[in-house]
Amino acid sequence: MDIKRVTLIGTGIMGAPMARNVAKAGYAVTVWNRTRDKADALSDVATVADDPRSAVAEADAVITMVDNSPVVTEIYFGENGVAEAAPKGALFIDMSSIQPAVARDHAARLEELGRRHIDAPVSGGEKGAIEASLAIMAGGELDDFQDAEPLLCAMGRPTHVGVHGAGQVAKLANQVIVAVTIGAVSEAMLLAQEGGCDPAALRSALMGGFATSRILDLHGERMTERNFVPGGPLALQLKDLENALEVAREAGLKLPLTEQTRDAFHALAHDMAMGRHDHAAYLLWLESINPGKRLGTAETKEPARTG
DSSP letters spanning 72-86: HHHHHHSTT-STTTS
Neighbouring CB atoms inside 10 A of 97's CB total 27
> Residue 166: CA atoms inside 13 Å, Cβ hemisphere, count?
13
> In angstroms, rounded to a whole number, what is the distance separating the alpha carbons of residues 186 and 117?
38
Per DSSP (E only), the strands in the chain are: 5-9, 28-32, 47-48, 61-64, 91-94, 116-119, 122-123, 134-139, 156-162
Active site residue 254: no
Catalytic-labelled residue, pool 4, 38, 127, 171: 171
Pairing status of strand 28-32 against strand 5-9: parallel
Asked if 61 and 148 count as a contact pair (C-beta separation under 8 A), the reply is: yes
Cis amide leading into 89 (omega within 30): no
Contacts of 166 (CB under 8 A, 6+ apart): 100, 119, 137, 139
Per DSSP (E only), the strands in 39-177 are: 47-48, 61-64, 91-94, 116-119, 122-123, 134-139, 156-162
Give the closest residue to 163 by CA, choosing from 108, 124, 211, 206: 108
Q: Could you list the active site residues? A: 171
